[in-house]
Structure 1
């Protein structure tokens, strides 16, 4: 069994989370500048056994896609060419930022650290991954 990797794509930064190889635990991995994302993923997937990549699908409450969706579709096109052997699935990411922020509060992350957009992106990717794992049960 391989890891599942989740991506919370952003215009400037992208949060990344992964499971363990048994696909039980979702953990934040890192946040990378979006322009370095493909390079990071190519490197990571050569070192680690990744069997699925999840990419967040940002939707509004009325079910319309948010403005960043076009950038995400371009990214997925490049990703499919650069790493063709790993399937990609989309996961609804509505409310992940709010859930991530609340989980940081609940887990006792200090106010100054909660202001870190990098940490929020990483935790958001973890929320995307955790919701996917939960819905697979």
Structure 2
């Protein structure tokens, strides 16, 4: 089997999480500057077999898409053009940042470490990926 990669897309940086090859476990991979994301993914796909990209879908409480969706849709078109053989799916990402922050508190990270927005994005991507795995 191949890995699944999840993205918590942001204007400045994007959190990335991956599954193991059996697609059982979601793990944080890294956080990348969004402007470098396509190049990072090209390098990753060149070394690892990836069958699916899961992109977080920001929604409001009333189930309508959030304003940041306007940034994500053009990015998804770039993904499709860059990786035409890899399927792309969406996963609701409501509350992932809050859950990531709570995860950091629960794991005993100090206040200074919890201010690391890159780590929050990586954990958010992991939560998005785990939610996707639970859904399929």
Separation in structure 1 between the aligned mates of residue 123 and residue 25 of structure 2, nearest angstrom: 13
Q: Equivalent residue for 1:46?
A: 46
Separation in structure 1 between the aligned mates of residue 45 and residue 91 of structure 2, nearest angstrom: 20
| Alpha-carbon displacement from aligned partner over 1:53-99 (angstroms, at most 9, x marks no partner) | 00000001011211111111000001101111100000000010111
Q: Equivalent residue for 2:7?
A: 7
Please report the RMSD computed on the Cα atoms of aligned residues, expressed in angstroms. Answer: 0.7
Q: Equivalent residue for 1:36?
A: 36
Residue correspondence of structure 1 range 55-66 to structure 2 within 5 A: 55-66=55-66
| Aligned residue pair count | 136
Q: Equivalent residue for 1:96?
A: 96
| Alpha-carbon displacement from aligned partner over 1:4-33 (angstroms, at most 9, x marks no partner) | 000000000000000110111111000001
Task: Using the TM superposition, give the Cα deviation of residue 134 of structure 1 relative to its aligned residue in structure 2, in angstroms.
Answer: 1.4
| Alpha-carbon displacement from aligned partner over 1:22-58 (angstroms, at most 9, x marks no partner) | 1111110000011111111111111101111000000
Separation in structure 1 between the aligned mates of residue 72 and residue 50 of structure 2, nearest angstrom: 20
Q: Equivalent residue for 1:78?
A: 78
Q: Equivalent residue for 1:107?
A: 107
Q: Which runs of 4+ in 1 moved over 2 A?
A: none
SS at match of 2:10: coil
**Given the two structures, how large is their TM-score scaled by the length of structure 2?**
0.97
- 5+ residue gaps in structure 2? none
Task: Using the TM superposition, give the Cα deviation of residue 122 of structure 1 relative to its aligned residue in structure 2, in angstroms.
Answer: 0.3
